[in-house]
Amino acid sequence: MKVLEAIKAGSKFLKEKNIPTYILDSELLLSKSLKKPREEILINLDQNINKKVLEDFNKYLLRRSKKEPIAYLFGEKEFWSKNFFVNKDTLIPRPETELLVSKLVTIFKKKKIIILDIGTGTGCIIVSLLSELKNSNGMAIDISREAILVAKKNACKFKLSDRIKFLHKPFEELYGKKFDLIVSNPPYIKRKDIKNLSDDIKKFEPKMALDGGNDGLDLIKKIIYKSKKILKINGMLALEIGSEQIKKVSKILIDNKFKINCIIKDYRNNVRCVIAEYK
């Protein structure tokens, strides 16, 4: 079988299984099976595929047909031009979160700061920030022991282990530290809405990292309250939030003596991040 035939057969199979990105996914899965970049296989469509590659490709197709995300199939996800190790113990890094990292890098570029990343998951936020903020250090905290192991692996991969301290505990139990910046992508989906998420998310990504309680704001409120005690004066809190939560989150921030510094819209023009200063 040739590359083109395999891509077509894989696309047809995934389309029948209601995978919306069936062509792209088929190309990605074949490139992974061939251990070659997608661009390279697309300019060599007449290349023959051996039996072992075809077997690997079919295994990937079967898993993807059951809605398993590509990132979990490959064990990695690109974020901030880096390939982060991911598994089912962590959320998959999203492009919207890069917008938050980008803004924070701009704000703190020439400064020396101490960062706290609450609910670090893969560690993609703090690792990306510290890869740019060369004079800064940070702490990453998560209640999932497995997530901390993933984050540590990524810090090691990008040679940042000496600048990040990892803690496996609830952030409410953090005392005696003060930070210049607290950043978090907390669970913010209403519990009743989790059932409406796509199968890729609700069947495979960790529920603990999605469930924001009855109103979706449980963790956001707790982070804001805790931040008042552990932020330095004029320190900043940066939160990723749900697309319709900005009004409620803004009120909680203002009621707790935070001044909203800026909001960040995602690629669909929804407000997805808020950065506030503690006065």
Return per-residue pLDDT of the chain as tens, 279 residues. Answer: 999 999 999 999 999 999 999 999 999 999 999 999 999 999 999 999 999 999 999 999 999 999 999 999 999 999 999 999 999 999 999 999 999 999 999 999 989 999 999 999 999 999 999 999 999 999 999 999 999 999 999 999 999 999 999 999 999 999 989 999 999 999 999 999 999 999 999 999 999 999 999 999 999 999 999 999 999 999 999 999 998 899 999 999 999 999 999 999 998 899 999 999 998
Q: How far is the first Cα of the chain from the last one, in angstroms, to the nearest whole number?
A: 65
Rounded Cα–Cα distance for residues 133 and 137 (Å): 8
Q: Supply angle C-alpha 45, 46, 50, rounded to 5.
A: 100
Q: Supply angle C-alpha 181, 187, 193, rounded to 5.
A: 150
Q: Report helix, strand or coil for 126.
A: helix
Q: What is the 3-state secondary structure (H, E, C) of 106-130?
A: HHHCCCCCEEEEECCCCCHHHHHHH
Rounded Cα–Cα distance for residues 17 and 178 (Å): 51
If asked whether residues 118 and 145 sit together in one domain, one would say: yes
What's residue 186's pLDDT? 96
Rounded Cα–Cα distance for residues 90 and 87 (Å): 6
For the chain, how big is the Rg over CA atoms in Å?
A: 21
What's residue 279's pLDDT? 84
Which CATH number do you get for residue 254? 3.40.50.150
The domain tally of the chain equals: 2
What's residue 64's pLDDT? 98
Q: Which residue in the block uniquely carries the two structure tokens 């997530």?
A: 147
- Enter the pTM of the model: 0.92
Q: Establish if 71 belongs to a structural domain.
A: no
If asked whether residues 48 and 89 sit together in one domain, one would say: no
If asked whether residues 48 and 172 sit together in one domain, one would say: no
Q: Establish if 72 belongs to a structural domain.
A: no
> Which tokens hold the place of 113?
């700061």
If asked whether residues 53 and 104 sit together in one domain, one would say: no
If asked whether residues 192 and 57 sit together in one domain, one would say: no
Residue 35 DSSP code: T
What is the span of the domain harbouring residue 15? Answer: 3-66
Rounded Cα–Cα distance for residues 21 and 61 (Å): 12
104 backbone φψ class: left, alpha, beta (φ>0; ψ -120 to 50): alpha
Backbone angles phi and psi of 104, in degrees to 5: -65, -35
If asked whether residues 113 and 62 sit together in one domain, one would say: no
C-beta neighbour count of 188 within 10 angstroms: 24
C-beta neighbour count of 257 within 10 angstroms: 11
Rounded Cα–Cα distance for residues 35 and 102 (Å): 31
